[in-house]
Structure 1
Amino acid sequence: MSAGVLLWILGWNVAAFCLMGVDKWKAKHGRWRLPEKVLFLSALAGGSVGALLGMGFFRHKTRHWTFRLGMPAILILQVAALTAWTYWDVFLR
């Protein structure tokens, strides 16, 4: 796997984790909230692990079934896609 891909994944995981924390802070302080689609898009962009860690660490969105099922589903799809991409030569033989 290339360094660029690893940096992409690391960056989006950090961003998704931070977005969960920011949205939790805003929720507790009655501020304008981040749309849920922003949280999901950050996970889809490569930050599903960070989003899941943020959900647990900040105890945020853990009661929403769309997040409890959606974030792990995104992670499973990303792991499958990354595995297929990494071992593409093996699958073609």
Structure 2
Amino acid sequence: MEDVTMLLPYIITVNIIGFIMMRIDKQKAIKGKFRIPERTFWLLAILGGAIGIYMGMKAFRHKTKHTSFIIGVPVLIVINLVLFAYITFFLS
């Protein structure tokens, strides 16, 4: 049960990080500076931050022309939610 109670703070943290990183990358894109690699966003999304990355995409209009992000991030949201539900309800 203790492991499951640590899941919510983890999910919140990784999603906040994903959201903030989308903001930072958007600002770097505007200024023509060195960018955050896309693989970093994918890793965060796979590790549970897909919702934060999606919210960042919408809030900052960033990566919205990349088909892989338009399709892949919502798919990862569903996968994340299913895994979190499984962990919460079946492993507790």
| TM-score normalised by length of structure 1 | 0.89
Shift of 1:87: 2.2
The one-character-per-residue Cα deviations of 1:57-90 (angstroms, maximum 9, x if unpaired) are 000000100000110011110111112222216x
Q: Unpaired segments of 5 or more residues in structure 2?
A: none
Equivalent residue pairs, number:
89
Match 1:33 to one of 32, 35, 60: 35
Superposition misfits of 4+ residues, deviation over 4 angstroms: none
Match 1:12 to one of 10, 14, 31: 14
Q: Which structure has the larger Rg over C-alpha atoms?
A: 1
Measured on the aligned residues, the alpha-carbon RMSD in Å equals 1.3
| TM-score normalised by length of structure 2 | 0.90
Q: Unpaired segments of 5 or more residues in structure 1?
A: none
Q: Percent identity?
A: 35
Q: Hey, what does 2:53 align to over in structure 1?
A: 51
Residues of 1 paired with 2:58 and 2:75: CA distance? 16
Match of 2:6, SS state, is helix
Match 2:78 to one of 55, 63, 76: 76
